[in-house]
């Protein structure tokens, strides 16, 4: 019986599109495509106020596309794990951005604490680094955070290239959390609207040679989720430069994580 059923199904498929569909449905009663019901008609975008001239400048600038070569830092083997994060941040104070936006500037008090990280490690604002290949070139980038007044956090990403180091991201905000997901760096930021938060995913852009905010959105938070409390600062442990975030932090680097 099974061979005959296969023959009848093949013959039915050749009768025509409509009749074949009906007969095939009888040959294979195990299921198939089903209508999901009526759907709304697709409506294309309609441009509003087409007579308005296009904008000539961005309304605000929070560091997208700004890069800087870090002077005095050598990475001959491209391994940023060997770098001292405090030395990187200190050298970055003298860097000249390709497009100054002010996002890389730090308050004078923060700069003073950075310069005193080795002698006053307890007040060093440089957090322990994380490492991830964010550019897809097979080499890890260094992700650093710098605590600032008002619970602000400056987040910076450094890329090894041409034997040196390039800062490919510098942005500052009052963050809820900073996360690494795949090759994205995701920042969650409080919104002025209660129960909502901003979420920005910074992604590598090869054309701009920098990390850009590829996705920037405002999201409703679940009622059960409250802002994460800030953990107490742990007194850093002095020691040599580490090869990963799970080891003891380098000289002057705070062990606090967010």
Beta strands per DSSP E along 55-195: 68-69, 130-132, 141-148, 152-161, 164-173, 177-181, 184-190
Distance of alpha carbon 108 from alpha carbon 230, whole angstroms: 24
The distance from CA 86 to its chain's CA centroid, rounded to whole angstroms, is 22
Domain-located, residue 19: yes
Residues 24 and 72 in one domain: no
pLDDT of residue 17: 45
Residue length of the chain = 258
Q: pLDDT at position 253, please?
A: 62
Task: Say if residue 18 is in the same domain as residue 76.
Answer: no
Same domain flag for 187 and 111: yes
In a domain, 174, yes or no: yes
Does the pTM of the predicted model rise above 0.75?
no
DSSP 8-class letter at 90:
H
Domain span at residue 11?
A: 1-29
Q: Would you say residue 237 has pLDDT above 60?
A: no
Give the pLDDT band of residue 84 (cuts 50, 70, 90).
very high
pLDDT (mean) for 73-94: 96
In a domain, 58, yes or no: no
Q: Within 10 A of 11 (CB to CB), how many other CB atoms are there?
A: 11
Same domain, 20 and 111: no
Q: How many helices (H) and strands (E) does the chain have?
A: 4, 9
Q: Within this chain, do residues 95 and 194 fall inside the same structural domain, yes or no?
A: yes
Count of domains observed in the chain? 2
Domain annotation covers residue 249: no
Same domain, 5 and 124: no
The C-alpha atoms of residue 110 and residue 99 are separated, in whole angstroms, by 22
| Residue (of 145, 216, 150, 204) closest to 177 by Cα position | 145
Q: At what angle do helices 108-115 and 85-92 cross, to 10 degrees?
A: 140
Specify if 62 maps to a domain.
Answer: no
42 Cβ neighbours under 8 A, 6+ residues apart? none
Centre a 10 Å sphere on the Cβ of residue 58 and count the other Cβ atoms it contains: 9
CB atoms inside a 10 Å sphere around CB 98: 14
Residue 54 falls within a domain, yes or no? Answer: no
Per-residue pLDDT at 102: 65
Based on the domain organization, do 102 and 211 belong to the same domain?
yes
Computed over every residue of the chain, the mean pLDDT equals: 80
Structural domain includes residue 215: yes
The first and second tokens of residue 222, run together, are 């679940």
Q: What pLDDT, on a 0 to 100 scale, did the predictor assign at position 48?
A: 94
**Do 98 and 201 have their domain in common?**
yes
CA dist 256 and 128 (Å) reads 7
Determine, yes or no, domain membership for 42.
no
Collapse the DSSP code of 193 into the 3-class scheme (helix H, G, I; strand E, B; otherwise coil) and give the result: coil
Q: Indicate if 23 and 148 belong to the same structural domain.
A: no
Domain co-membership, 100 together with 18: no
CA distance 29 to 24: 9
How far apart, in whole angstroms, are the C-alpha atoms of residue 139 and residue 204? 13
**Do residues 25 and 82 both lie within one domain?**
no
85 and 8, same domain (yes or no) = no
């Amino acid at each position: 019986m099974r061979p005959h059923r296969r023959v009848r199904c093949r013959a039915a498929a050749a009768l025509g599109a409509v009749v074949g569909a009906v007969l095939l449905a009888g040959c294979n009663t195990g299921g198939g495509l089903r209508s999901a019901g009526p759907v709304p008609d697709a409506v294309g975008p309609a441009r509003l106020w087409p007579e308005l001239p296009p904008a000539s400048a961005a309304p605000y600038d929070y560091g997208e596309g700004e890069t800087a070569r870090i002077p005095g830092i050598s990475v001959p083997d491209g391994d940023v794990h060997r770098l001292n994060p405090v030395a990187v941040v200190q050298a970055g104070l003298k860097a000249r951005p390709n497009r100054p936006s002010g996002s890389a500037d730090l308050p004078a008090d923060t700069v003073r604490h950075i310069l005193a990280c080795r002698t006053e490690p307890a007040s060093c604002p440089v957090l322990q680094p994380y490492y991830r290949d964010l550019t897809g070139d097979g080499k890890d980038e260094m992700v650093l955070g710098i605590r600032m007044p008002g619970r602000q956090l400056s987040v910076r990403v450094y890329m090894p290239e041409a034997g040196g180091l390039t800062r490919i991201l510098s942005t500052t905000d009052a963050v809820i959390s900073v996360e690494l997901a795949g090759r994205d760096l995701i920042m969650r930021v409080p919104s002025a609207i209660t129960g909502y938060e901003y979420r920005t995913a910074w992604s590598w852009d090869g054309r701009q040679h920098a990390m850009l905010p590829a996705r920037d959105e405002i999201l409703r938070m679940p009622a059960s989720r409250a802002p994460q409390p800030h953990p107490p600062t742990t007194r850093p442990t002095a020691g040599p430069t580490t090869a990963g975030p799970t080891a003891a932090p380098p000289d002057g680097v705070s062990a606090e994580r967010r």
